[in-house]
Amino acid sequence: MQTDYERQLLEKLLAKYERSKAYITGRSSRKIALSASKEEWIQRGMEEPEEKGLFLATLEELKRQGLIDYSWVRYEEGNLADKIWLLQDEEGIAEAYRRIGHIPAKEKADGLLVLLEEYAKRLKPDAPLMAFLQACMGEIRARRKRPSCFAEDGALNEDILKCLIYMENNEQEQMERLMSLALCGDSKRFEKAVKPKVLQILRAVKREAGEDIPEDEELLKEKGIVRWPEILEFSGKLKVRLEEGSTIDYAPERYGAYINSVTVAHIDKVEAEGIRRVLFIENKANYVWYLSHRKKDEELVIFHGGCYSPVKGKWFRKIIGGLERQPQRPEYAHWGDIDVGGFRMFIRLRKEIVPQLQPYLMDRFALEQYRKAAMRITSPSYLKTLEKLEKDPEYACFHEVIGKMLEEKIRLEQEAMIVFEPQGKWRTKS
């Protein structure tokens, strides 16, 4: 009959074993040991004669079975245990795992490795997720341990990988629960069990790339995963012609128009009239303020909203298609934060959708104008990222402002430009 003492002893010793050099290399001169005097749960049992007897009997039985050995406190032989250690032969360790009903960590790690190798085949070689999964596989091979971003449960790990691979290859909008049902067989499986690990991994991928990490919802939206259809906001003289033949005129919506992602999927084409300038705005507050205080009749203003999703990217492309059919092509600009995230959003938008894109209020002059409202940069890694961008030809349009940021160790959120005067004082009027 297994005792609680047996289970606790073996669990603690095996946990120490899995953290040891012996676990990784298969050999070590150091004992995997517990000090009885430092284990409170043991000391509590020693206060009661019956419990003490049960504990000592458990030690003797585990020793007889060849699973552990132990020593006595000096002059207290047969009374007080001192050190208790795991016998490191392969059969004994396997039996110890069996006795407590645990799958050895090596087996779990090996099982995860097989899963990672299988699912990695479904990724493009240059996919950001691929580099992360390869790093995880390298860690398992070197340390025979499960990376903390994955779970102990093999079935859960498979669902995590299913969702990650789907997201990496996804180019459409998909509601969270429908994805969960399709991939995991349960509409709530993703939300309840899979989502925390998926988000942890997505954050890690961003971190490895030196990118800013958005909120959880934005992380998923970037991959096309939403709780409900996305709402896309803009203001300007646009007409949207749908596949069934109807046309929606958004020109009268001076202070902001909306279209949902489902409608975007059924657009035949976008028509533009008399638009001479297009302005993408990163943050919502600035978008709303600009429509009320600055927007001109010949402008199209688009709420960018950070890391745009696949469906928002599709919407942007349809808009650009309509604008390019005008007799006169417009100018394109983007207004975002003067920081790493803002620069990267600009570059992505220019690279993927609008090659003619130019920065708006994202230069050295703007930073100097609003110097008193700027935020201090205290992170060494953030400064290193800026240094890399300053040397990157792709970011040439920002090199001057990045130099100023590095010089003064400051960055500027675009909201400051609508809250403060250029001198850094609170605005009393718009």
User: Do residue 259 and residue 338 come from a single domain?
Assistant: yes
Model pLDDT, residue 351:
96
User: Do residue 295 and residue 398 come from a single domain?
Assistant: yes
> Does 380 fall in a domain?
yes
Contacts of 423 (CB under 8 A, 6+ apart): 372
Task: Give the domain extent around 25.
Answer: 4-100
Query: Can you say how many angstroms the Cα of residue 341 is from the centroid of all Cα atoms in its chain?
Result: 15
pLDDT digits (tens, 9 = 90+) for 361-379: 999 999 999 999 999 999 9
Model pLDDT, residue 89:
84
User: Do residue 300 and residue 222 come from a single domain?
Assistant: no
User: Do residue 169 and residue 287 come from a single domain?
Assistant: no
Tally of domains within the chain: 3
pLDDT digits (tens, 9 = 90+) for 388-418: 999 999 999 999 999 999 999 999 999 999 9
User: Do residue 278 and residue 415 come from a single domain?
Assistant: yes
Total Cβ atoms within 10 A of residue 126: 7
- The yes-or-no verdict on residue 186 having pLDDT over 90 is yes
Model pLDDT, residue 220:
95
- The yes-or-no verdict on residue 132 having pLDDT over 50 is yes
**Predicted confidence band of residue 425 (pLDDT cuts 50, 70, 90):** confident
> Does 348 fall in a domain?
yes
Whole-angstrom Cα distance, residue 320 to residue 102?
Answer: 58
Q: Give the pair of three-digit tokens for residue 71.
A: 């020593």
Nearest C-alpha neighbor of 374 from the set 421, 410, 425, 336:
410
User: Do residue 110 and residue 174 come from a single domain?
Assistant: yes
- The yes-or-no verdict on residue 171 having pLDDT over 90 is no
Q: Which of 179, 197, 226 is the last residue of a domain?
A: 226
Which residue(s) pair with 410 in the sheet? 376
Look up tokens 């203001």; give the residue: 235
Model pLDDT, residue 184:
96
Model pLDDT, residue 204:
94
Which residue(s) pair with 278 in the sheet? 300, 332
- The beta strands (E) that lie in 212-295 are given as 225-226, 231-235, 238-242, 247-249, 257-260, 267-272, 277-281
User: Do residue 237 and residue 356 come from a single domain?
Assistant: yes
Total Cβ atoms within 10 A of residue 133: 23
User: Do residue 71 and residue 117 come from a single domain?
Assistant: no
- The yes-or-no verdict on residue 57 having pLDDT over 60 is yes
* 158 three-state secondary structure: helix
**Predicted confidence band of residue 1 (pLDDT cuts 50, 70, 90):** very low
Q: Give the pair of three-digit tokens for residue 180.
A: 């969960």
Whole-angstrom Cα distance, residue 179 to residue 181?
Answer: 5
> Does 430 fall in a domain?
no
User: Do residue 75 and residue 146 come from a single domain?
Assistant: no
Q: What's this model's pTM, rounded to 2 decimal places?
A: 0.74
Q: Give the pair of three-digit tokens for residue 10.
A: 């073996």
Model pLDDT, residue 295:
95
**Predicted confidence band of residue 427 (pLDDT cuts 50, 70, 90):** low
- The yes-or-no verdict on residue 16 having pLDDT over 60 is yes
Show contacts of 138-147: CB within 8 Å, 24+ apart: 140/109, 140/110, 140/112, 140/113, 140/116, 141/113, 142/24, 143/24, 144/23, 144/24, 144/105, 144/106, 144/109, 144/110, 145/18, 145/105, 145/109, 146/105, 146/108, 146/109, 146/112
pLDDT digits (tens, 9 = 90+) for 253-303: 989 999 999 999 999 999 998 999 999 999 999 999 999 999 999 999 999
> Does 426 fall in a domain?
no
User: Do residue 235 and residue 217 come from a single domain?
Assistant: no
Q: Which of 172, 202, 226 is the last residue of a domain?
A: 226
Model pLDDT, residue 299:
97
What average pLDDT score do residues 225-229 get?
Answer: 92
Model pLDDT, residue 428:
59
User: Do residue 217 and residue 143 come from a single domain?
Assistant: yes
> Does 110 fall in a domain?
yes
Cβ(320)–Cβ(256) below 8 Å: no
User: Do residue 209 and residue 290 come from a single domain?
Assistant: no
CATH of the domain at 311: 3.40.1360.10
Model pLDDT, residue 2:
52
Q: Which of 68, 100, 132 is the last residue of a domain?
A: 100
> Does 294 fall in a domain?
yes
Model pLDDT, residue 196:
96
Give Cα separations from 141 to 21, 146, 200, 323, 344 (angstroms): 14, 10, 22, 53, 34
Query: Could you tell me where the DSSP H helices lie in 65-127?
Result: 90-100, 105-120
pLDDT digits (tens, 9 = 90+) for 66-104: 999 999 999 999 999 999 999 988 888 889 999 888 888
Q: Give the pair of three-digit tokens for residue 112.
A: 């995860």
Model pLDDT, residue 180:
97
* Average pLDDT for the chain: 92
Whole-angstrom Cα distance, residue 289 to residue 175?
Answer: 31
> Does 425 fall in a domain?
no
Contacts of 306 (CB under 8 A, 6+ apart): 214, 218, 282, 341, 345
pLDDT digits (tens, 9 = 90+) for 297-324: 999 999 998 888 899 999 999 999 999 9
Nearest C-alpha neighbor of 261 from the set 226, 307, 303:
226
Whole-angstrom Cα distance, residue 127 to residue 227?
Answer: 25
> Does 428 fall in a domain?
no
